[in-house]
Structure 1
Amino acid sequence: MKIIILGGTGFVGSYLKAYLEAQSHDVVALGRKAYSKEFDLTAKLENQDLLIVLTGESIGKRWGAAYKKALLESRTLTNKLLKLKLQACQNPPKRIFSASAIGFYPENTCENILDESHTEPGKGFLGQLGKQWEETSLELTPKPLIMRFGVVLGKNGGALQKMLPPFKMGLGGPVAGGQQCFSWIHIEDLARAVSFFIEKSELKGVFNLTSLNPVTSNVFGKALAKAIHRPFWLPLPEFQLKLMFGEGAQVLTHSSAIVPTKLIESGFDFKYPEVATALKNIVE
Protein backbone atom coordinates (compact mmCIF):
# COMPACT_ATOMS: atom_id res chain seq x y z
CA MET A 1 0.00 0.00 0.00
CA LYS A 2 0.96 3.63 -0.43
CA ILE A 3 0.99 5.18 3.04
CA ILE A 4 1.69 8.72 4.22
CA ILE A 5 2.37 9.50 7.89
CA LEU A 6 1.91 13.07 9.15
CA GLY A 7 3.84 13.65 12.36
CA GLY A 8 5.94 10.79 11.06
CA THR A 9 9.40 11.95 12.14
CA GLY A 10 8.95 11.53 15.91
CA PHE A 11 9.34 8.53 18.20
CA VAL A 12 6.21 6.61 17.15
CA GLY A 13 6.17 7.78 13.52
CA SER A 14 9.78 6.77 12.86
CA TYR A 15 9.24 3.29 14.30
CA LEU A 16 5.99 2.87 12.41
CA LYS A 17 7.56 3.91 9.11
CA ALA A 18 10.32 1.31 9.44
CA TYR A 19 7.85 -1.36 10.57
CA LEU A 20 5.46 -0.82 7.66
CA GLU A 21 8.29 -0.60 5.13
CA ALA A 22 9.50 -3.99 6.38
CA GLN A 23 6.06 -5.27 5.37
CA SER A 24 6.67 -3.98 1.82
CA HIS A 25 4.45 -0.90 2.07
CA ASP A 26 5.56 2.32 0.35
CA VAL A 27 5.74 4.84 3.23
CA VAL A 28 6.33 8.59 3.24
CA ALA A 29 6.82 10.24 6.66
CA LEU A 30 6.46 14.01 7.01
CA GLY A 31 7.21 16.30 9.96
CA ARG A 32 6.09 19.85 10.71
CA LYS A 33 7.03 21.15 7.27
CA ALA A 34 3.93 19.39 5.89
CA TYR A 35 1.75 22.16 7.34
CA SER A 36 3.87 25.09 6.15
CA LYS A 37 2.59 27.48 3.48
CA GLU A 38 5.43 26.61 1.12
CA PHE A 39 4.68 22.87 1.18
CA ASP A 40 2.22 21.29 -1.30
CA LEU A 41 0.55 18.85 1.07
CA THR A 42 -2.35 18.21 -1.30
CA ALA A 43 0.05 16.84 -3.92
CA LYS A 44 1.55 14.47 -1.33
CA LEU A 45 -1.89 13.24 -0.30
CA GLU A 46 -2.95 12.40 -3.87
CA ASN A 47 -3.39 8.70 -4.67
CA GLN A 48 -2.43 7.45 -1.21
CA ASP A 49 -4.11 4.31 0.11
CA LEU A 50 -3.76 5.31 3.75
CA LEU A 51 -3.11 8.49 5.72
CA ILE A 52 -1.89 8.12 9.32
CA VAL A 53 -2.12 11.31 11.40
CA LEU A 54 0.18 11.48 14.44
CA THR A 55 0.61 15.26 14.53
CA GLY A 56 0.89 17.08 17.87
CA GLU A 57 3.34 18.64 20.31
CA SER A 58 4.66 16.29 23.00
CA ILE A 59 2.78 16.32 26.30
CA GLY A 60 5.94 15.21 28.12
CA LYS A 61 7.26 18.73 28.72
CA ARG A 62 6.77 21.57 31.18
CA TRP A 63 3.38 23.19 30.67
CA GLY A 64 2.40 26.80 31.08
CA ALA A 65 -0.46 28.67 29.41
CA ALA A 66 1.50 29.10 26.17
CA TYR A 67 2.43 25.44 25.93
CA LYS A 68 -1.12 24.29 26.68
CA LYS A 69 -2.21 26.48 23.76
CA ALA A 70 0.47 24.84 21.59
CA LEU A 71 -0.67 21.36 22.67
CA LEU A 72 -4.20 22.14 21.55
CA GLU A 73 -3.46 24.04 18.35
CA SER A 74 -0.86 21.54 17.13
CA ARG A 75 -3.69 19.00 17.08
CA THR A 76 -6.79 20.98 16.14
CA LEU A 77 -5.53 23.70 13.79
CA THR A 78 -3.46 21.17 11.87
CA ASN A 79 -6.55 18.98 11.48
CA LYS A 80 -8.54 21.95 10.16
CA LEU A 81 -5.80 22.68 7.60
CA LEU A 82 -5.61 19.00 6.71
CA LYS A 83 -9.35 18.96 6.08
CA LEU A 84 -8.92 21.67 3.43
CA LYS A 85 -5.96 19.89 1.83
CA LEU A 86 -7.94 16.65 1.61
CA GLN A 87 -10.91 18.45 0.05
CA ALA A 88 -8.59 19.78 -2.65
CA CYS A 89 -7.42 16.28 -3.63
CA GLN A 90 -8.59 14.72 -6.89
CA ASN A 91 -7.88 11.24 -5.47
CA PRO A 92 -7.71 11.55 -1.66
CA PRO A 93 -6.47 8.74 0.60
CA LYS A 94 -8.88 5.82 0.81
CA ARG A 95 -8.56 5.46 4.59
CA ILE A 96 -7.36 7.58 7.53
CA PHE A 97 -6.07 6.50 10.94
CA SER A 98 -5.86 9.39 13.45
CA ALA A 99 -4.02 9.36 16.77
CA SER A 100 -5.59 10.41 20.03
CA ALA A 101 -4.70 9.51 23.62
CA ILE A 102 -6.22 7.82 26.63
CA GLY A 103 -6.03 11.16 28.44
CA PHE A 104 -9.48 11.53 26.85
CA TYR A 105 -10.93 9.42 29.68
CA PRO A 106 -11.69 10.68 33.19
CA GLU A 107 -9.29 9.64 35.93
CA ASN A 108 -9.92 6.19 37.34
CA THR A 109 -8.15 3.52 39.36
CA CYS A 110 -6.75 0.09 38.48
CA GLU A 111 -9.84 -1.37 40.17
CA ASN A 112 -12.22 0.68 38.00
CA ILE A 113 -11.13 -0.06 34.43
CA LEU A 114 -12.62 1.79 31.45
CA ASP A 115 -12.80 0.88 27.76
CA GLU A 116 -14.21 2.32 24.53
CA SER A 117 -17.79 1.96 25.78
CA HIS A 118 -17.13 5.00 28.03
CA THR A 119 -17.85 7.98 25.79
CA GLU A 120 -17.70 10.96 28.17
CA PRO A 121 -14.34 12.77 28.26
CA GLY A 122 -12.64 13.79 31.47
CA LYS A 123 -13.32 17.32 32.72
CA GLY A 124 -9.65 18.29 33.11
CA PHE A 125 -7.28 19.64 30.48
CA LEU A 126 -6.25 16.21 29.14
CA GLY A 127 -9.86 15.14 28.68
CA GLN A 128 -10.84 18.34 26.90
CA LEU A 129 -7.70 18.20 24.75
CA GLY A 130 -8.64 14.67 23.67
CA LYS A 131 -12.24 15.70 23.01
CA GLN A 132 -11.33 18.63 20.76
CA TRP A 133 -8.56 16.65 19.05
CA GLU A 134 -10.97 13.87 18.13
CA GLU A 135 -13.75 16.24 17.10
CA THR A 136 -11.50 17.89 14.53
CA SER A 137 -10.18 14.48 13.39
CA LEU A 138 -13.73 13.31 12.73
CA GLU A 139 -14.28 16.25 10.39
CA LEU A 140 -11.79 14.69 7.97
CA THR A 141 -13.00 12.75 4.94
CA PRO A 142 -13.00 9.78 4.83
CA LYS A 143 -13.93 9.52 8.51
CA PRO A 144 -10.88 8.21 10.37
CA LEU A 145 -10.39 5.29 12.67
CA ILE A 146 -9.34 6.85 16.00
CA MET A 147 -6.41 5.29 17.87
CA ARG A 148 -6.21 6.28 21.56
CA PHE A 149 -2.62 5.61 22.59
CA GLY A 150 -1.56 4.66 26.08
CA VAL A 151 1.98 5.43 27.26
CA VAL A 152 4.14 4.06 24.43
CA LEU A 153 7.20 2.12 25.60
CA GLY A 154 10.17 1.61 23.29
CA LYS A 155 13.86 2.24 22.76
CA ASN A 156 15.29 5.69 22.05
CA GLY A 157 12.26 7.83 22.76
CA GLY A 158 8.99 8.40 24.57
CA ALA A 159 8.47 8.07 28.31
CA LEU A 160 11.24 5.54 28.91
CA GLN A 161 13.92 7.82 27.47
CA LYS A 162 13.16 10.29 30.27
CA MET A 163 12.69 7.70 32.99
CA LEU A 164 15.77 5.56 32.39
CA PRO A 165 18.59 7.98 33.36
CA PRO A 166 17.54 8.41 37.03
CA PHE A 167 16.67 4.71 37.29
CA LYS A 168 20.10 3.74 35.91
CA MET A 169 21.69 5.95 38.56
CA GLY A 170 19.78 4.01 41.23
CA LEU A 171 17.40 6.92 41.89
CA GLY A 172 14.13 5.25 40.87
CA GLY A 173 11.24 5.25 43.31
CA PRO A 174 7.54 5.93 43.85
CA VAL A 175 6.19 8.90 41.87
CA ALA A 176 3.57 11.02 43.69
CA GLY A 177 2.73 8.10 45.98
CA GLY A 178 2.81 5.50 43.23
CA GLN A 179 -0.83 4.38 43.39
CA GLN A 180 -1.99 6.07 40.17
CA CYS A 181 -2.78 3.60 37.40
CA PHE A 182 -0.55 3.41 34.35
CA SER A 183 -1.84 2.20 30.96
CA TRP A 184 0.97 1.38 28.56
CA ILE A 185 1.74 -0.38 25.27
CA HIS A 186 4.96 -1.76 23.78
CA ILE A 187 5.73 0.13 20.58
CA GLU A 188 5.95 -3.13 18.63
CA ASP A 189 2.39 -4.02 19.67
CA LEU A 190 1.29 -0.52 18.63
CA ALA A 191 2.80 -1.05 15.17
CA ARG A 192 1.30 -4.54 14.98
CA ALA A 193 -2.10 -3.04 15.82
CA VAL A 194 -1.77 -0.49 13.00
CA SER A 195 -0.90 -3.34 10.62
CA PHE A 196 -3.95 -5.22 11.96
CA PHE A 197 -6.16 -2.23 11.15
CA ILE A 198 -4.74 -2.15 7.62
CA GLU A 199 -5.64 -5.80 7.11
CA LYS A 200 -9.11 -5.46 8.68
CA SER A 201 -10.60 -2.75 6.47
CA GLU A 202 -14.04 -3.23 8.05
CA LEU A 203 -12.87 -1.86 11.43
CA LYS A 204 -14.15 1.61 12.30
CA GLY A 205 -14.60 3.93 15.26
CA VAL A 206 -12.44 4.33 18.36
CA PHE A 207 -9.81 1.80 19.48
CA ASN A 208 -7.71 1.95 22.65
CA LEU A 209 -4.08 1.04 21.98
CA THR A 210 -3.05 -0.09 25.43
CA SER A 211 -1.92 -3.40 26.87
CA LEU A 212 -4.41 -5.76 28.51
CA ASN A 213 -2.89 -5.12 31.93
CA PRO A 214 -2.67 -1.59 33.34
CA VAL A 215 -0.58 -1.43 36.52
CA THR A 216 0.04 1.05 39.29
CA SER A 217 2.96 3.43 38.90
CA ASN A 218 4.67 1.55 41.75
CA VAL A 219 4.36 -1.81 39.98
CA PHE A 220 5.67 -0.27 36.76
CA GLY A 221 8.60 1.39 38.52
CA LYS A 222 9.57 -1.81 40.34
CA ALA A 223 9.44 -3.76 37.07
CA LEU A 224 11.67 -1.17 35.37
CA ALA A 225 14.16 -1.18 38.26
CA LYS A 226 14.29 -4.98 38.21
CA ALA A 227 14.79 -5.06 34.42
CA ILE A 228 17.92 -2.89 34.72
CA HIS A 229 19.06 -4.41 38.05
CA ARG A 230 18.73 -1.23 40.10
CA PRO A 231 16.99 -0.40 43.42
CA PHE A 232 13.57 1.19 43.68
CA TRP A 233 13.53 3.41 46.73
CA LEU A 234 13.69 7.20 46.25
CA PRO A 235 10.23 8.84 46.38
CA LEU A 236 9.46 11.71 44.00
CA PRO A 237 6.71 13.78 45.68
CA GLU A 238 4.01 15.56 43.70
CA PHE A 239 5.23 19.04 44.74
CA GLN A 240 8.63 18.29 43.14
CA LEU A 241 6.93 17.16 39.95
CA LYS A 242 5.03 20.45 39.81
CA LEU A 243 8.27 22.39 40.25
CA MET A 244 9.79 20.42 37.36
CA PHE A 245 6.85 20.23 34.94
CA GLY A 246 4.32 22.87 36.01
CA GLU A 247 0.81 21.75 35.04
CA GLY A 248 2.46 19.09 32.89
CA ALA A 249 3.03 17.11 36.11
CA GLN A 250 -0.49 15.76 35.68
CA VAL A 251 0.82 13.50 32.91
CA LEU A 252 2.65 11.60 35.68
CA THR A 253 0.00 11.93 38.38
CA HIS A 254 -3.09 11.29 36.20
CA SER A 255 -4.48 7.84 37.04
CA SER A 256 -5.73 6.02 33.98
CA ALA A 257 -6.77 2.34 33.78
CA ILE A 258 -7.78 1.75 30.18
CA VAL A 259 -8.10 -1.55 28.30
CA PRO A 260 -8.37 -2.35 24.55
CA THR A 261 -11.68 -4.22 24.54
CA LYS A 262 -12.51 -3.53 20.88
CA LEU A 263 -9.04 -4.56 19.71
CA ILE A 264 -9.26 -7.89 21.56
CA GLU A 265 -12.81 -8.54 20.36
CA SER A 266 -11.62 -7.93 16.80
CA GLY A 267 -9.11 -10.78 17.14
CA PHE A 268 -5.83 -9.02 17.96
CA ASP A 269 -3.20 -10.85 20.04
CA PHE A 270 -0.62 -8.93 22.04
CA LYS A 271 3.02 -9.96 21.87
CA TYR A 272 3.77 -8.10 25.12
CA PRO A 273 0.72 -8.27 27.42
CA GLU A 274 2.75 -8.06 30.67
CA VAL A 275 4.79 -5.03 31.72
CA ALA A 276 7.74 -7.05 33.04
CA THR A 277 8.34 -8.87 29.75
CA ALA A 278 7.77 -5.67 27.74
CA LEU A 279 10.37 -3.75 29.76
CA LYS A 280 12.84 -6.63 29.70
CA ASN A 281 12.61 -6.72 25.90
CA ILE A 282 13.18 -2.96 25.60
CA VAL A 283 16.02 -2.39 28.04
CA GLU A 284 18.12 -5.49 27.31
Structure 2
Amino acid sequence: MKIVILGGTGFVGKHLAKHLSQQGHQVTAQGRSAFKDLDHLTQLIDEQDVVIQLAGANIGERWNEAYKKELYDSRITTSGLLKKALEKANQPPQRILAASAIGIYPQRPCGQPLDEQCTDIDPGFLGHLGQAWEMANAQLSPTPLIMRFGVVLGLDGGALAKMLPAFRLGGGGPVAGGQQCFSWIHIDDLVAAISWAINHPELQGPINMCAPQPLTQAEFGRALAHALGRPFWLPMPEFALKMLFGEGAQVLTHSSCVVPSRLTELGFQFKYADAKSALSQLVRRA
Protein backbone atom coordinates (compact mmCIF):
# COMPACT_ATOMS: atom_id res chain seq x y z
CA MET A 1 0.00 0.00 0.00
CA LYS A 2 0.94 3.64 -0.33
CA ILE A 3 1.18 5.03 3.21
CA VAL A 4 2.01 8.55 4.40
CA ILE A 5 3.02 9.11 8.03
CA LEU A 6 2.42 12.65 9.29
CA GLY A 7 4.73 13.26 12.23
CA GLY A 8 6.84 10.48 10.77
CA THR A 9 10.25 11.91 11.63
CA GLY A 10 9.89 11.49 15.41
CA PHE A 11 10.71 8.53 17.65
CA VAL A 12 7.66 6.41 16.84
CA GLY A 13 7.41 7.58 13.24
CA LYS A 14 10.96 6.53 12.34
CA HIS A 15 10.46 3.02 13.72
CA LEU A 16 7.06 2.73 12.05
CA ALA A 17 8.32 3.89 8.65
CA LYS A 18 11.15 1.35 8.76
CA HIS A 19 8.82 -1.48 9.80
CA LEU A 20 6.20 -0.74 7.13
CA SER A 21 8.87 -0.33 4.43
CA GLN A 22 10.30 -3.72 5.33
CA GLN A 23 6.82 -5.17 4.80
CA GLY A 24 6.84 -3.91 1.24
CA HIS A 25 4.69 -0.80 1.60
CA GLN A 26 5.55 2.45 -0.16
CA VAL A 27 6.04 4.80 2.80
CA THR A 28 6.39 8.59 2.91
CA ALA A 29 7.35 10.00 6.33
CA GLN A 30 6.89 13.73 6.89
CA GLY A 31 7.58 15.94 9.91
CA ARG A 32 5.93 19.20 10.81
CA SER A 33 6.78 20.59 7.37
CA ALA A 34 3.82 18.54 6.11
CA PHE A 35 1.54 21.17 7.64
CA LYS A 36 3.24 24.26 6.21
CA ASP A 37 0.22 24.99 4.02
CA LEU A 38 -2.96 23.36 2.80
CA ASP A 39 -1.82 22.73 -0.78
CA HIS A 40 1.35 20.96 0.34
CA LEU A 41 -0.56 18.72 2.76
CA THR A 42 -3.19 17.95 0.12
CA GLN A 43 -0.50 16.82 -2.33
CA LEU A 44 1.03 14.57 0.32
CA ILE A 45 -2.16 12.70 1.11
CA ASP A 46 -3.64 12.61 -2.39
CA GLU A 47 -3.69 9.10 -3.91
CA GLN A 48 -2.43 7.51 -0.69
CA ASP A 49 -4.10 4.35 0.61
CA VAL A 50 -3.46 5.09 4.30
CA VAL A 51 -2.72 8.24 6.31
CA ILE A 52 -1.20 7.82 9.77
CA GLN A 53 -1.46 10.98 11.87
CA LEU A 54 1.21 11.06 14.60
CA ALA A 55 1.93 14.80 14.63
CA GLY A 56 2.19 16.44 18.05
CA ALA A 57 4.78 18.19 20.23
CA ASN A 58 6.60 16.03 22.79
CA ILE A 59 4.52 15.71 25.96
CA GLY A 60 7.56 14.81 28.09
CA GLU A 61 9.03 18.31 28.35
CA ARG A 62 8.84 21.16 30.85
CA TRP A 63 5.47 22.83 30.57
CA ASN A 64 4.60 26.50 30.83
CA GLU A 65 1.59 28.25 29.34
CA ALA A 66 3.35 28.74 25.99
CA TYR A 67 4.34 25.08 25.76
CA LYS A 68 0.85 23.92 26.76
CA LYS A 69 -0.45 25.97 23.83
CA GLU A 70 2.09 24.28 21.57
CA LEU A 71 0.95 20.86 22.80
CA TYR A 72 -2.60 21.83 21.91
CA ASP A 73 -1.92 23.53 18.56
CA SER A 74 0.44 20.80 17.33
CA ARG A 75 -2.40 18.31 17.73
CA ILE A 76 -5.72 20.05 17.22
CA THR A 77 -4.67 22.67 14.64
CA THR A 78 -2.84 20.11 12.51
CA SER A 79 -5.86 17.79 12.55
CA GLY A 80 -8.03 20.72 11.45
CA LEU A 81 -5.74 21.33 8.48
CA LEU A 82 -5.78 17.63 7.66
CA LYS A 83 -9.58 17.73 7.56
CA LYS A 84 -9.43 20.47 4.93
CA ALA A 85 -6.81 18.58 2.92
CA LEU A 86 -8.93 15.43 2.90
CA GLU A 87 -11.88 17.42 1.60
CA LYS A 88 -9.72 18.97 -1.13
CA ALA A 89 -7.95 15.78 -2.28
CA ASN A 90 -8.92 14.33 -5.66
CA GLN A 91 -8.40 10.78 -4.40
CA PRO A 92 -8.45 10.78 -0.58
CA PRO A 93 -7.08 7.83 1.42
CA GLN A 94 -9.18 4.79 2.25
CA ARG A 95 -7.96 4.56 5.85
CA ILE A 96 -6.82 6.96 8.57
CA LEU A 97 -5.09 5.97 11.79
CA ALA A 98 -4.70 8.80 14.30
CA ALA A 99 -2.62 8.88 17.48
CA SER A 100 -3.96 9.69 20.93
CA ALA A 101 -2.76 8.72 24.40
CA ILE A 102 -3.96 6.83 27.46
CA GLY A 103 -3.71 10.05 29.51
CA ILE A 104 -7.30 10.65 28.39
CA TYR A 105 -8.48 8.03 30.91
CA PRO A 106 -9.18 8.85 34.58
CA GLN A 107 -6.38 7.96 36.96
CA ARG A 108 -6.58 4.52 38.56
CA PRO A 109 -4.21 2.51 40.75
CA CYS A 110 -2.81 -0.78 39.50
CA GLY A 111 -5.39 -3.53 39.98
CA GLN A 112 -8.27 -1.34 38.73
CA PRO A 113 -7.76 -1.49 34.96
CA LEU A 114 -9.66 0.53 32.39
CA ASP A 115 -10.16 -0.39 28.76
CA GLU A 116 -11.82 1.04 25.66
CA GLN A 117 -15.30 0.69 27.16
CA CYS A 118 -14.51 3.52 29.59
CA THR A 119 -15.99 6.81 28.37
CA ASP A 120 -14.97 8.95 31.36
CA ILE A 121 -12.31 11.62 30.80
CA ASP A 122 -9.60 12.58 33.27
CA PRO A 123 -10.35 16.10 34.60
CA GLY A 124 -6.73 17.27 34.31
CA PHE A 125 -4.85 18.79 31.39
CA LEU A 126 -3.89 15.41 29.92
CA GLY A 127 -7.51 14.32 29.80
CA HIS A 128 -8.73 17.55 28.23
CA LEU A 129 -5.88 17.55 25.69
CA GLY A 130 -6.65 13.96 24.70
CA GLN A 131 -10.36 14.66 24.43
CA ALA A 132 -9.82 17.72 22.22
CA TRP A 133 -7.37 15.77 20.04
CA GLU A 134 -9.77 12.88 19.56
CA MET A 135 -12.70 15.20 18.88
CA ALA A 136 -10.66 16.95 16.18
CA ASN A 137 -9.72 13.62 14.60
CA ALA A 138 -13.32 12.41 14.77
CA GLN A 139 -14.13 15.13 12.19
CA LEU A 140 -11.87 13.46 9.61
CA SER A 141 -13.29 11.42 6.77
CA PRO A 142 -12.98 8.48 6.49
CA THR A 143 -13.54 7.95 10.21
CA PRO A 144 -10.14 7.18 11.77
CA LEU A 145 -9.01 4.45 14.08
CA ILE A 146 -7.92 6.24 17.27
CA MET A 147 -4.71 4.73 18.67
CA ARG A 148 -4.28 5.47 22.38
CA PHE A 149 -0.58 4.97 23.08
CA GLY A 150 0.86 3.94 26.42
CA VAL A 151 4.38 5.02 27.40
CA VAL A 152 6.50 3.81 24.49
CA LEU A 153 9.76 2.07 25.43
CA GLY A 154 12.75 2.34 23.13
CA LEU A 155 16.41 3.27 23.27
CA ASP A 156 16.35 6.24 20.93
CA GLY A 157 13.45 8.27 22.29
CA GLY A 158 10.64 8.52 24.80
CA ALA A 159 10.74 8.05 28.56
CA LEU A 160 13.20 5.14 28.70
CA ALA A 161 15.91 7.02 26.84
CA LYS A 162 15.67 9.78 29.46
CA MET A 163 15.73 7.33 32.37
CA LEU A 164 18.67 5.19 31.26
CA PRO A 165 21.57 7.56 32.05
CA ALA A 166 20.60 7.93 35.72
CA PHE A 167 19.85 4.22 36.10
CA ARG A 168 23.16 3.23 34.51
CA LEU A 169 24.93 5.38 37.10
CA GLY A 170 23.06 3.62 39.91
CA GLY A 171 20.77 6.57 40.56
CA GLY A 172 17.46 4.86 39.91
CA GLY A 173 14.69 4.95 42.46
CA PRO A 174 10.96 5.49 43.00
CA VAL A 175 9.48 8.63 41.45
CA ALA A 176 6.98 10.58 43.58
CA GLY A 177 6.51 7.57 45.85
CA GLY A 178 6.42 5.06 42.99
CA GLN A 179 2.86 3.78 43.51
CA GLN A 180 1.37 5.39 40.40
CA CYS A 181 0.45 2.84 37.76
CA PHE A 182 2.49 2.68 34.59
CA SER A 183 1.00 1.46 31.29
CA TRP A 184 3.67 0.97 28.66
CA ILE A 185 4.47 -0.73 25.32
CA HIS A 186 7.70 -1.86 23.66
CA ILE A 187 8.38 0.09 20.45
CA ASP A 188 8.54 -3.17 18.45
CA ASP A 189 5.09 -4.20 19.69
CA LEU A 190 3.70 -0.74 18.95
CA VAL A 191 4.79 -0.69 15.32
CA ALA A 192 3.63 -4.30 14.93
CA ALA A 193 0.22 -3.36 16.39
CA ILE A 194 -0.13 -0.41 14.00
CA SER A 195 0.82 -2.62 11.06
CA TRP A 196 -1.70 -5.21 12.27
CA ALA A 197 -4.39 -2.54 12.52
CA ILE A 198 -3.73 -1.40 8.95
CA ASN A 199 -4.61 -4.92 7.82
CA HIS A 200 -7.92 -4.81 9.73
CA PRO A 201 -9.88 -2.14 7.83
CA GLU A 202 -13.02 -2.87 9.83
CA LEU A 203 -11.49 -1.32 12.96
CA GLN A 204 -12.79 2.09 14.08
CA GLY A 205 -13.07 4.00 17.32
CA PRO A 206 -10.45 3.90 20.11
CA ILE A 207 -7.96 1.09 20.57
CA ASN A 208 -5.47 0.97 23.44
CA MET A 209 -1.92 0.35 22.32
CA CYS A 210 -0.22 -0.67 25.53
CA ALA A 211 1.06 -3.93 26.99
CA PRO A 212 -1.42 -6.16 28.87
CA GLN A 213 0.49 -5.98 32.17
CA PRO A 214 0.62 -2.48 33.72
CA LEU A 215 2.66 -2.17 36.90
CA THR A 216 3.62 0.48 39.46
CA GLN A 217 6.38 2.92 38.65
CA ALA A 218 8.47 1.42 41.47
CA GLU A 219 8.04 -2.10 40.04
CA PHE A 220 8.97 -0.83 36.61
CA GLY A 221 12.04 0.94 38.00
CA ARG A 222 13.18 -2.17 39.86
CA ALA A 223 12.84 -4.22 36.66
CA LEU A 224 14.96 -1.67 34.79
CA ALA A 225 17.60 -1.54 37.54
CA HIS A 226 17.73 -5.34 37.62
CA ALA A 227 18.15 -5.53 33.83
CA LEU A 228 21.08 -3.12 34.10
CA GLY A 229 22.57 -4.80 37.17
CA ARG A 230 22.28 -1.56 39.15
CA PRO A 231 20.71 -0.67 42.53
CA PHE A 232 17.29 0.89 42.90
CA TRP A 233 17.39 3.20 45.88
CA LEU A 234 17.43 6.95 45.15
CA PRO A 235 13.91 8.40 45.40
CA MET A 236 12.84 11.47 43.42
CA PRO A 237 10.16 13.39 45.34
CA GLU A 238 7.33 15.15 43.57
CA PHE A 239 8.62 18.64 44.39
CA ALA A 240 11.86 17.83 42.55
CA LEU A 241 9.88 16.71 39.51
CA LYS A 242 7.96 19.99 39.51
CA MET A 243 11.23 21.91 39.63
CA LEU A 244 12.42 20.03 36.55
CA PHE A 245 9.22 19.79 34.51
CA GLY A 246 6.80 22.37 35.92
CA GLU A 247 3.21 21.29 35.30
CA GLY A 248 4.65 18.64 32.98
CA ALA A 249 5.56 16.62 36.08
CA GLN A 250 2.04 15.20 35.94
CA VAL A 251 3.14 13.02 33.01
CA LEU A 252 5.30 11.12 35.54
CA THR A 253 2.84 11.20 38.44
CA HIS A 254 -0.31 10.35 36.45
CA SER A 255 -1.51 6.88 37.44
CA SER A 256 -2.71 5.03 34.33
CA CYS A 257 -3.93 1.47 34.70
CA VAL A 258 -4.99 0.76 31.13
CA VAL A 259 -5.20 -2.55 29.29
CA PRO A 260 -5.50 -3.35 25.54
CA SER A 261 -8.73 -5.31 25.57
CA ARG A 262 -9.55 -4.80 21.89
CA LEU A 263 -6.08 -5.86 20.70
CA THR A 264 -6.05 -9.02 22.78
CA GLU A 265 -9.67 -9.96 22.03
CA LEU A 266 -9.04 -9.60 18.29
CA GLY A 267 -5.98 -11.84 18.42
CA PHE A 268 -2.96 -9.54 18.37
CA GLN A 269 0.05 -11.28 19.90
CA PHE A 270 2.45 -9.21 22.02
CA LYS A 271 6.11 -10.14 21.76
CA TYR A 272 6.85 -8.32 25.03
CA ALA A 273 3.82 -8.67 27.29
CA ASP A 274 5.68 -8.03 30.58
CA ALA A 275 8.11 -5.30 31.59
CA LYS A 276 10.89 -7.70 32.57
CA SER A 277 11.15 -9.23 29.09
CA ALA A 278 10.78 -5.85 27.37
CA LEU A 279 13.49 -4.16 29.44
CA SER A 280 15.87 -7.11 29.26
CA GLN A 281 15.64 -7.11 25.48
CA LEU A 282 16.19 -3.35 25.21
CA VAL A 283 19.15 -3.37 27.60
CA ARG A 284 20.75 -6.22 25.64
CA ARG A 285 20.26 -4.22 22.43
CA ALA A 286 21.89 -1.10 23.90
TM-score of the two chains, using structure 1 as the length reference: 0.99
In 2, the alpha carbon distance for the partners of 1:14 and 1:51 equals 15
SS at match of 1:28: strand
Cα offsets for 1:213-255 (capped at 9, x unmatched)? 0000000000000111111000000000000000000000000
Corresponding residue for residue 34 of structure 1? 34
In 2, the alpha carbon distance for the partners of 1:109 and 1:38 equals 43
In 2, the alpha carbon distance for the partners of 1:232 and 1:39 equals 52
Q: What letter corresponds to residue 196 of structure 2 in structure 1?
A: F
Superposition deviation, residue 186 in structure 1? 0.4
Contact 1:33/1:39 (CA < 8 Å) preserved in 2? no
Q: What letter corresponds to residue 263 of structure 1 in structure 2?
A: L
Superposition deviation, residue 38 in structure 1? 8.4
Structure 1 residue runs of 5 or longer lacking an equivalent are: none
Q: What letter corresponds to residue 227 of structure 2 in structure 1?
A: A
Corresponding residue for residue 93 of structure 1? 93
SS at match of 1:218: helix
Corresponding residue for residue 163 of structure 1? 163
Cα offsets for 1:128-156 (capped at 9, x unmatched)? 00000000001011110000000000121
Contact 2:38/2:81 (CA < 8 Å) preserved in 1? no
Q: What letter corresponds to residue 55 of structure 1 in structure 2?
A: A
Q: What letter corresponds to residue 266 of structure 2 in structure 1?
A: S
Pairing 1:240–2:236 present: no
SS at match of 1:18: helix
Superposition deviation, residue 37 in structure 1? 2.9
Pairing 1:173–2:173 present: yes
Contact 2:99/2:149 (CA < 8 Å) preserved in 1? yes
Superposition deviation, residue 59 in structure 1? 0.6
Q: What letter corresponds to residue 260 of structure 1 in structure 2?
A: P
Contact 1:151/1:159 (CA < 8 Å) preserved in 2? yes
Pairing 1:153–2:150 present: no
Corresponding residue for residue 136 of structure 2? 136
Corresponding residue for residue 261 of structure 1? 261
In 2, the alpha carbon distance for the partners of 1:283 and 1:17 equals 23
1:193-204 paired onto structure 2 within 5 Å: 193-204=193-204
Superposition deviation, residue 39 in structure 1? 6.3
Corresponding residue for residue 53 of structure 2? 53
Q: What letter corresponds to residue 109 of structure 2 in structure 1?
A: T
Structure 2 residue runs of 5 or longer lacking an equivalent are: none
Cα offsets for 1:73-96 (capped at 9, x unmatched)? 110011101111111001001100
SS at match of 1:41: helix
Corresponding residue for residue 270 of structure 2? 270
SS at match of 1:258: coil
In 2, the alpha carbon distance for the partners of 1:52 and 1:198 equals 10
TM-score of the two chains, using structure 2 as the length reference: 0.98
SS at match of 1:40: helix
SS at match of 1:176: coil
SS at match of 1:81: helix
In 2, the alpha carbon distance for the partners of 1:198 and 1:35 equals 23
In 1, the alpha carbon distance for the partners of 2:55 and 2:146 equals 13
Superposition deviation, residue 122 in structure 1? 0.6
SS at match of 1:200: coil
In 1, the alpha carbon distance for the partners of 2:236 and 2:120 equals 31
Corresponding residue for residue 18 of structure 2? 18
Corresponding residue for residue 9 of structure 1? 9
SS at match of 2:72: helix
In 1, the alpha carbon distance for the partners of 2:177 and 2:135 equals 34
1:201-216 paired onto structure 2 within 5 Å: 201-216=201-216
Deviating beyond 6 angstroms after TM superposition, the runs of 4 or more aligned structure 1 residues are none
